[in-house]
Structure formats: structure tokens, C-alpha cells
Amino acid sequence: MEKRPENRGNQITGGLIILIIGVFFLLQRMSIVTFKNWWAVFILIPAISSLGNFFQDQNRERVFRFSQVSNILGILFPVSIACIFLFELSWQVYWPILVILAGFSMFLSGFIDSVEPVGRFVNQIRPWFLAWGGAVILLGIFFLLNNMNWFDLSSILTNWWGIPILVAATGGIISALQTARENPRFRLVVAANLFTSLVLAIPGILALTGVRLDLVGSILIIAIGIILIVSIISKK
């Protein structure tokens, strides 16, 4: 009886895991490589398994599914954590890598194009996934550069965190424009996207411009009034 591709792939993955662990311990015994936290190599096991699952999904279906996003993260997260332990890197410095990966997962989710429920949901708010993912990635990069003393953004912009907030807010604007173009009757959805973007953008704008944050409440009320007026006028 011919073996199913899934079973064959799992067997190859299992063999690859054993092979890598064996090679690692051989090099460790021969003092070719020496790692104090040698046990961290076992963290790579889920990554190898996810790598095998990713290629199986790629061969089985050509669309980008949520399972593939999970597999990619199942590779990147364990590899990152294992490298931090193996090379004895400081968590106080490199913890933003996990933030970057979290943002990357959101960004990747924006490319899901399957017909499954998750795919249909993503298709409706795709710009939000991309914008929020980009914002979180940017936030992680800023933290990482600052921790590594490569670039101190606060020396240029005191409230630099307003930049990722504005990036996240663009998701609602793009989503509103997309909805208005494809479904002009969905005015409530357009208004909801614009309102959410405005709520996000106001703190970012105030932070970057140096305006007092205690004015946010008043400005937000004014913004709500403007949106209501515009929505009423557009119904005529």
C-alpha cells in the first residue's frame, strides 16, 4: 500500500528532528561548538515540525490559509527564542523581537485569501490587519534599536510612539475607502471605520505635535459631531 503524502512528510520531519539533534550533540561532544544553554536546541523541535507542515500545506493547496500563518509563526517564534538562549543574548535587549514577530503574524494574516470563515473575515477587514501588523512591527523595531543603542528615536521625537498609532489608524481609512467603492450603500460601515481611525489617530497626532493629551476628550467629542453631521448630510 502506498503511503499517504502526509504520513510520509511526518516521517521525514521526525527523521530530520532526530538528525539535527544527533549532529548537534556530536558537535558539542567534539567541542566544535559549545553552548552553555545546550538544552535550547529542543525548542527547535516545534519549528522543524511546523516547517514540515508548511511545505505540506503548500503542496496541497495554492491559497494562503490561516494554518500557513500558524506554521510560519511556529517556525519563527521557537527559532528566535532558541537563538536567544543558545547565544546567551540578553532578554532585556532582544525582547522586542517577539513584538516584531507578533506584528508580523498580524501582517501575514492580512494576506489570507482562502474561502474558509477566517479567510472571509480577513477579506472584510484586510487593511486593518495590514495596518496593525505594520504598526506593531514598527513599534518592535523602535524598541529594539533603542535597546541596542543603535538609534534613539526619542532624541528626535519625544513622543515617537505616535508614529505606530498613526500607522494603525490608516487601516480604517483604507478600509472605509474600499467599502465606499465596492459597497456604496454600507455607509454605516464606512462611518464606523472612519470613527475608529479617528479615535486612534487623535492621540498619535497630539503626541507628535506636542499638544496636551488632556484635550483628547474634547477633540474626540468634536470629531464625533463632525462625523454625525457628515453621515446625516450624505443620506440626503
Query: Both 98 and 168 in a single domain?
Result: no
pLDDT tens for 177-233 read: 888 887 777 778 888 888 888 888 878 887 787 766 566 667 667 767 776 676 666
Query: Both 209 and 120 in a single domain?
Result: no
Instruction: Note whether residue 122 is domain-resident.
Output: yes
Residue 27 has pLDDT above 80, yes or no: no
Q: How many angstroms from the chain centroid is the CA of residue 37?
A: 28
Instruction: Note whether residue 203 is domain-resident.
Output: yes
Residue 69 has pLDDT above 50, yes or no: yes
Query: Both 66 and 130 in a single domain?
Result: yes
Query: Both 52 and 146 in a single domain?
Result: yes
Let me know: does 168 contact 203? Beta carbons within 8 Å. no
State how many domains the chain has.
2
Query: Both 228 and 167 in a single domain?
Result: yes
Euclidean distance between the first and the last CA atom of the chain, given in angstroms as a whole number: 70
Query: Both 188 and 138 in a single domain?
Result: no
Q: Which of 115, 134, 156 is the last residue of a domain?
A: 156
Instruction: Note whether residue 19 is domain-resident.
Output: no
Instruction: Note whether residue 20 is domain-resident.
Output: no
All three cell numbers of 54, joined, read 508548511
**pLDDT value of residue 2:** 47
The CA-atom distances, in angstroms, between 227 and each of 92, 160, 218 are 44, 28, 15
Q: What percent of the chain has pLDDT over 70?
A: 79
| Confidence (pTM) | 0.76
Give the helix/strand (H/E) hosting 129: helix 126-147
Query: Both 117 and 59 in a single domain?
Result: yes
3-state secondary structure of 161: coil
User: Residue type for 73, please?
Assistant: L
168 lies in which domain range?
161-235
All three cell numbers of 207, joined, read 503626541
Average pLDDT for the chain = 80
All three cell numbers of 89, joined, read 543574548
Predicted confidence band of residue 138 (pLDDT cuts 50, 70, 90) = very high
- Please give the Cα distance from 106 to 175 (Å, whole number): 16
Query: Both 171 and 195 in a single domain?
Result: yes
**pLDDT value of residue 36:** 79
Q: Mean of the pLDDT values across residues 24-45?
A: 77
Q: Which of 156, 181, 211 is the last residue of a domain?
A: 156
The lowest-confidence range among 47-61, 125-139, 188-202 is: 47-61
Instruction: Note whether residue 21 is domain-resident.
Output: no
More confident site: 15 or 162: 162
Instruction: Note whether residue 4 is domain-resident.
Output: no
DSSP output for 16-76: HHHHHHHHHHHHHHTTSS--TTGGGGGGHHHHHHHHHHHHHHHHH-SS--HHHHHHHHHHH
Q: Which of 156, 190, 219 is the last residue of a domain?
A: 156
3-state secondary structure of 183: coil
Angle value at C-alpha 70, between 110 and 116, nearest 5 degrees: 60
Query: Both 217 and 191 in a single domain?
Result: yes
- Please give the Cα distance from 217 to 76 (Å, whole number): 41
Query: Both 50 and 147 in a single domain?
Result: yes
Residue 124 has pLDDT above 90, yes or no: no
- Please give the Cα distance from 186 to 170 (Å, whole number): 19
Residue 1 has pLDDT above 50, yes or no: no
Query: Both 130 and 61 in a single domain?
Result: yes
Beta strands (DSSP E) in the chain are none
Query: Both 181 and 225 in a single domain?
Result: yes
All three cell numbers of 220, joined, read 474626540
The lowest-confidence range among 49-53, 77-81, 115-119, 147-151 is: 115-119
Instruction: Note whether residue 14 is domain-resident.
Output: no
Instruction: Note whether residue 24 is domain-resident.
Output: no
Rg of the chain over CA atoms, in angstroms?
24
